[in-house]
C-alpha cells in the first residue's frame, strides 16, 4: 500500500545518512540522557541511552541489519541495547535531530513494543516523528507510519481515544499534503475506515468509504465502473450490516480496554433498546446496491479469478439471508457453487470449505459479568456455557439446549439469547441447503468469584487451570 511506501523511503534515506556519517563523521562526546513519560510532539525528552560502551560509528550499518533480524525473530531484549548504542553513536557523530536517527528510533520503538514496554515505545516513535517534522515539515507524509505505530501502541495500552486521535491525525496529514480529492488519499481512507470498523464507529466508517467512492469515481474515466471501487463498496456494505446487526466480538479478539458493542450502544439485533419507542434499523436496500455493484465490477474485471466472482456472489447471498430473504439467497448460492465447480475447477472438498458446514454470519456475544471494584479483582476464573442447537435450511437456530454451564446460571440466559438471533449460511448437499443437527457452541468468559464463594471452594483451580475455549 502507498502509505507503507513512504516509510520505506524514510528508512532508505536514513540508512543512506547512517552510511555517510559512519564513514566520515568524527565522534564527539555526549552525556547519558534521562527520559520520562511520553510528552507532546516537539517536547519529547531525550532518549535514555548508555554511551559508555558504544561501538565505533563505522559499525552502525551492520548493527542495524543485526537488530532488524533480531526484531523479526522476536529477540526484542537483544535488539534494545544494540539499537540504543546505534542511537547514541549517531547522536554523537551528527545531532539529536539528524534524519539518520529516524530508522533506529523506529526500530527501538518496535523492540520496546515487542516487550510490552509501551511507554518506552511511544517515546521512541514520538522522537522519530519529531525529527521527521523538524527536517521534512510539519505535515510531512513520511510521519504517517509512525502515527500508525503510535496508534497501535495506544491500543495495546487500552487508551483508545488517543489511538483514535493518531489515526485521524494521520489522515489529516494526508489531506494537508495531497488535497481533498486526490487518489493519494485512498490508502489512508481505507486505513481509517478499517480503524473505525474495529472501534465500532459505524457512521465514521461509512463516511470514510463514501468519500473513497467519490474520489475514485472523480479520478477515473470508468466512473462507477472502476474496479478499484470494490474495497470501498464492501466497506460501505459492512457499515450497513454493522448498523443493522451491531458487531459483537469474542473477548479474546476485542481490543484492550474496548467495551463490547452492546455496551457502547443500545441496539440488539438492529433494535434500539433505550428509552422511548423501538426503532428498527433496516439497511437492506443500500447494502444490496453496494454488493450488487461489487458482483458487477468483479465479474467485469479481467484480473478477477472465477473464485473471486464466486466469493462476491456468496457475499451477496449472505446479505439476503441475513435479512430473511432465503428465496433470493439460494439461487445466488447455487450459482456461486456452479462457478466454483465449472469455471474454477474446484473439487467437492474445496467447495465444502464454503458450503460443507454451517457458517456463522451473525452471532451476538454478551459482555463478561460485571467486574467488582478494583481491590476485589483477584483470582479471576474462566466460566463457560455450552449449547447444542440445530441450524435450519434457512440458516436460523432451532432446538437450542444448554449442555453445561459453570458457574451454573451466571451467563446461560445471555448466551442463549444471543444464539436465538444468530444467522448462519446453511450447509449444502449438492445445490440444496439442508438442516444441520447437533451443532455445538461453547462460550467462555472471565468472572471474579465473590469472596464468600471463593471461601467455600478453597481448592478451586486458578485461572491458569480453568477450562480453555473450544477449538
180 conformational bin, left if phi > 0, alpha if psi -120 to 50, beta if neither: alpha
Q: What single DSSP character describes residue 17?
A: H
Cell readout for 154 is 495506544
Mean pLDDT of 372-383: 86
Does pTM top 0.85 for this prediction?
no
CA torsion sign for 171, 176, 178, 181 is positive
CATH 3.30.2420.10 for the 362-465 domain, yes or no: yes
Residue 208's pLDDT is: 97
For 1-138+146-157, give the CATH class. mainly alpha
pLDDT in tens, 1-15: 443 434 443 444 344
Angle formed at CA 442 by CA 425 and CA 317, multiple of 5 degrees: 10
Residue 247's pLDDT is: 64
61 three-class SS = helix
What's the CA gap between 451 and 449, in Å, rounded? Answer: 6
Residue 9's pLDDT is: 39
pLDDT in tens, 36-70: 333 333 333 333 333 334 445 458 889 999 999 99
| Of 125, 123, 154, 105, the residue nearest 45 (C-alpha) | 123
Cell readout for 409 is 446460571
pLDDT in tens, 236-261: 999 999 998 886 644 344 444 444 34
pLDDT score of 273 more than 80: no
* 280-289, 392-401, 440-449: least confidently modelled range: 280-289
What's the CA gap between 243 and 189, in Å, rounded? Answer: 20
Whether 1-138+146-157 and 362-465 share one fold: the answer is no
Domain boundary assignment for the chain: 1-138+146-157, 362-465
CA torsion sign for 363, 369, 375, 378 is negative
Highest mean pLDDT (candidates 40-54, 132-146, 366-380): 132-146
How many CB atoms are located within 10 Å of the residue 66 CB?
Answer: 17
Amino acid at each position: 500500500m502507498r502509505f507503507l511506501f513512504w516509510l520505506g523511503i524514510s528508512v532508505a534515506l536514513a540508512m543512506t545518512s547512517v552510511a555517510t556519517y559512519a564513514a566520515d563523521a568524527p565522534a564527539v562526546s555526549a552525556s547519558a540522557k534521562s527520559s520520562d513519560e511520553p510528552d507532546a510532539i516537539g517536547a519529547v525528552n531525550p532518549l535514555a541511552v548508555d554511551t559508555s560502551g558504544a561501538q565505533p560509528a563505522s559499525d552502525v550499518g551492520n548493527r542495524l541489519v543485526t537488530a532488524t533480524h533480531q526484531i523479526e525473530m522476536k529477540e526484542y531484549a537483544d535488539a534494545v541495547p544494540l539499537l540504543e548504542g546505534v542511537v547514541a553513536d549517531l547522536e554523537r557523530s551528527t545531532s539529536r535531530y539528524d534524519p539518520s536517527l529516524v530508522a533506529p528510533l523506529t526500530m527501538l520503538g518496535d523492540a520496546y513494543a515487542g516487550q510490552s514496554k509501551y511507554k518506552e515505545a511511544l517515546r521512541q516513535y514520538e522522537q522519530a516523528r519529531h525529527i521527521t517534522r523538524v527536517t521534512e515539515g510539519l505535515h510531512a507524509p513520511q510521519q504517517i507510519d509512525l502515527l500508525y505505530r503510535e496508534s497501535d501502541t495506544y491500543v495495546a495500552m487500552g487508551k483508545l481515544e488517543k489511538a483514535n486521535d493518531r489515526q485521524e491525525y494521520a489522515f489529516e496529514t494526508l489531506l494537508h499534503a495531497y488535497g481533498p480529492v486526490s487518489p493519494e488519499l485512498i490508502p489512508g481512507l481505507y486505513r481509517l475506515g478499517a480503524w473505525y470498523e474495529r472501534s465500532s464507529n459505524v457512521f465514521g466508517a461509512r463516511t470514510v468509504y463514501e468519500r473513497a467512492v467519490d474520489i475514485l469515481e472523480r479520478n477515473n474515466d470508468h466512473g462507477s465502473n472502476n474496479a478499484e471501487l470494490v474495497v470501498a463498496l464492501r466497506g460501505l456494505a459492512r457499515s450497513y450490516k454493522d448498523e443493522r446487526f451491531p458487531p459483537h466480538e469474542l473477548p479474546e479478539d476485542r481490543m484492550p480496554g474496548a467495551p463490547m458493542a452492546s455496551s457502547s450502544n443500545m441496539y440488539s439485533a438492529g433494535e434500539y433498546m433505550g428509552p422511548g419507542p423501538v426503532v428498527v434499523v433496516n439497511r437492506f436496500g443500500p447494502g444490496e446496491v453496494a454488493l450488487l455493484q461489487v458482483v458487477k465490477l468483479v465479474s467485469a474485471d479481467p484480473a478477477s479469478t472465477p473464485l473471486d466472482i464466486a466469493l462476491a456472489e456468496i457475499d451477496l447471498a449472505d446479505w439476503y439471508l441475513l435479512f430473511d430473504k432465503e428465496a433470493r439467497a439460494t439461487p445466488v448460492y447455487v450459482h456461486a457453487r456452479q462457478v466454483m465447480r465449472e469455471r474454477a475447477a474446484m473439487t467437492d472438498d474445496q467447495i465444502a470449505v464454503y458450503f460443507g458446514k454451517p457458517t456463522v454470519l451473525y452471532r451476538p456475544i454478551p459482555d463478561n459479568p460485571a467486574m467488582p471494584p478494583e481491590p476485589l479483582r483477584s483470582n479471576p476464573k474462566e466460566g463457560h456455557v455450552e449449547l447444542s442447537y440445530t441450524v435450519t435450511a434457512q440458516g436460523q437456530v432451532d432446538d437450542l439446549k444448554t449442555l453445561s454451564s459453570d458457574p451454573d446460571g451466571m451467563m446461560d440466559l445471555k448466551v442463549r439469547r444471543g444464539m436465538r438471533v444468530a444467522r448462519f449460511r446453511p450447509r449444502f448437499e449438492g445445490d440444496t441447503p439442508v438442516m444441520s443437527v447437533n451443532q455445538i457452541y461453547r462460550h467462555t468468559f472471565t468472572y471474579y468469584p465473590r469472596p464468600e464463594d471463593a471461601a467455600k471452594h478453597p481448592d478451586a483451580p486458578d485461572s491458569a487451570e480453568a477450562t480453555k475455549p473450544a477449538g
